[in-house]
Structures are given as structure tokens and as C-alpha cells.
């Protein structure tokens, strides 16, 4: 796989975590998923987070995306303190600031690629008639302009994931959160999607936080954060 890009210094921090803790309780049993995580992500960085099952990386992802509130600590995402706002505010964060790409493409099967992308704009309250002009550069970069009128079952897995990425970018999010985005793809399509994510970062300055179990995939980012037992145990910069 290709080497990672070089990150230029960017002073603005778009994600800031301090003393982040998350405890899940089931009856009398408590499980501490995160145990005091500190992390700064500059605007425009492509950050990979790796770790074994149970390391806390998915919990970190869900908290940064406003899907799960923290138990304790500061979670500043795009200027919003996610742990100290209402559910409605966290919903607003997901509509305006962060977007998600998952291992499962989660495309609506009865809609074309175009209408799957338009759905994100509708939910965000953005004008649908402008979406093709606003997304033209992204669609060209993703190479799916000719597939907009096809339904998911008429596309390959790699094409479906590209549509899912286009849908995530349709609202112009400050942060793209990707959870195992190549997990359902073969090696050829995995490499293509990772190159696309890096191109989006390099050409558009898109901030990306990617969860992955694959060290080679993680190397496409500027840094890799290694997690174990709810803590960050190592941070590796890629040259």
C-alpha cells in the first residue's frame, strides 16, 4: 500500500478530548470502556485509530460523533462540548458538523445513488437542486458520476462505498468519521477507497477520523493512535 501524506502544521484543533471516560452498566456490572483519554486532532488531519476488540476505539468513535454521551471528561467537537449539551444539540452536530461512513454501506436499496445522496441533503435541510453543482468535484474525485442513476444492487461493493462517502460529504461536514470503511471490500477496492479518502484529505482539506483494525490501512493517515483497554498506548506519525 502507498505511503501516507505529510501533514502541514495546522494550529486549529477541531477535536479535543480531555480525561474522556465511558462506563457502561448492565445491572450491577460496570464496564469501563474508556479510561481517561486525551487527544487533539487538528483541522485537516487524517487520523487512524487502531486497537483490538474491546480496546475502546468504537466507543471513542461513537462519542466523537455524538451518538453516545461520555460518562466524564471534555469532548469538544467542532466547538461544541458534546458531553454537556442536550440530545437535540448532539443531533444538530450530526446534521451539520460530522458525517459517517460505515463498514456496511447502509444505502437505501430502492433508491438510486443520486437519491441516496439527496436523502442526506433532505435530512440536513439543504437545497437538493444545488447538490450536483456543489458535489461536482467530489463526484469526479470518487469516480461515480456515471453511476448516479443506478441502484445499489447494480453497483459493485467499491462503487457502493463511494456512493456512501459521497452521501457523507454532501452536507459539507467539518469531520468525516469512518468506521472500518474497507471492512466489506476486497483488497483492490479497499486500496481504491483508502486512496480516495487520502485524496479527499489532501485536495479538499477534509478532516478524517478512521477506525480500523488494519495497520496497512491505518498508514494512509498522518498519524495512528493505538488503543488498548480503554487507553491510548501509542501514537505513531507516518512519514
The DSSP code sequence of 187-234 is HHHHHHHHHHHHHHHHHH--EEEEE-S-HHHHTTSSEEEEEETTEEEE
Decide if 142 is inside a domain: yes
In a domain, 7, yes or no: no
CB-CB contact of 23 with 31 (8 Å): yes
Contacts of 62 (CB under 8 A, 6+ apart): 68
Mean predicted confidence (pLDDT) in 132-142: 72
Q: Is residue 1 part of a domain?
A: no
Percent of the chain with pLDDT over 70: 91
Within a domain: 205 = yes
Classify residue 26: in a domain, yes or no.
yes
Instruction: With respect to residue 3, please indicate whether it lies within any of the assigned structural domains.
Output: no
Q: Residue 8 falls within a domain, yes or no?
A: no
Q: Enter the pTM of the model.
A: 0.89
Instruction: Residue 164: count other Cβ atoms within 10 Å of its Cβ.
Output: 26
pLDDT score at 176 = 97
Q: Do residues 128 and 118 touch, judged by C-beta distance below 8 A?
A: yes
Q: Please give the pLDDT value at position 70.
A: 95
Q: For the chain, how many structural domains are there in total?
A: 1
Report the CATH number that the domain containing residue 178 is assigned in CATH: 3.40.50.300
**Residue 133 scores a pLDDT above 70:** no
User: Which tens digit of pLDDT belongs to each residue from 60-108?
Assistant: 999 999 999 999 999 999 999 998 999 999 988 998 899 999 989 899 9
Q: pLDDT for 15-66, tens place per residue?
A: 999 999 999 998 889 999 999 999 999 999 999 999 999 999 999 999 999 9
- The predicted pLDDT at position 239 comes to 67
> Which residues have C-beta within 8 Å of that of residue 231, sequence separation ≥ 6?
34, 35, 36, 37, 56
CA distance 169 to 152: 18
In a domain, 47, yes or no: yes
How would you classify the pairing of strands 207-211 and 231-237?
unpaired
Cα–Cα distance between 197 and 162 in angstroms, integer? 10
**Domain extent for 144:** 13-237
Amino acid at each position: 500500500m502507498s505511503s501516507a501524506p505529510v501533514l502541514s502544521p495546522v494550529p486549529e484543533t477541531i477535536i479535543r478530548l480531555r480525561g474522556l471516560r465511558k462506563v457502561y452498566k448492565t445491572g450491577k456490572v460496570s464496564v469501563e470502556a474508556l479510561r481517561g483519554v486525551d487527544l487533539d486532532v487538528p483541522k485537516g488531519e487524517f487520523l487512524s485509530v487502531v486497537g483490538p476488540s474491546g480496546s475502546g476505539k468504537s466507543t471513542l468513535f461513537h462519542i466523537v460523533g455524538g451518538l453516545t454521551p461520555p460518562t466524564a471528561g471534555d469532548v469538544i467537537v467542532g466547538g461544541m462540548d458534546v458531553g454537556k449539551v442536550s440530545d437535540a444539540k448532539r443531533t444538530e452536530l450530526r446534521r451539520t458538523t460530522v458525517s459517517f461512513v460505515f463498514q456496511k454501506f447502509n444505502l437505501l436499496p430502492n433508491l438510486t445513488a443520486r437519491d441516496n445522496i439527496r436523502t442526506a441533503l433532505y435530512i440536513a435541510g439543504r437545497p437538493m437542486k444545488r447538490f450536483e453543482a456543489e458535489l461536482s468535484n467530489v463526484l469526479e474525485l470518487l469516480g461515480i458520476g456515471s453511476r448516479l442513476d443506478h441502484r445499489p444492487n447494480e453497483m459493485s461493493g467499491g462503487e457502493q462505498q463511494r456512493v456512501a462517502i459521497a452521501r457523507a460529504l454532501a452536507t459539507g461536514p467539518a469531520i468525516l468519521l469512518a468506521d472500518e470503511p474497507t471492512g466489506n471490500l476486497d483488497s483492490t477496492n479497499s486500496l481504491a477507497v483508502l486512496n480516495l479518502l487520502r485524496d479527499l484529505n489532501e485536495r479538499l482539506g477534509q478532516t478524517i477520523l478512521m477506525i480500523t483494525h488494519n495497520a496497512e490501512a491505518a498508514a494512509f493517515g498522518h498519524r495512528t493512535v493505538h488503543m488498548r483497554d480503554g487507553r491510548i498506548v501509542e501514537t505513531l506519525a507516518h512519514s
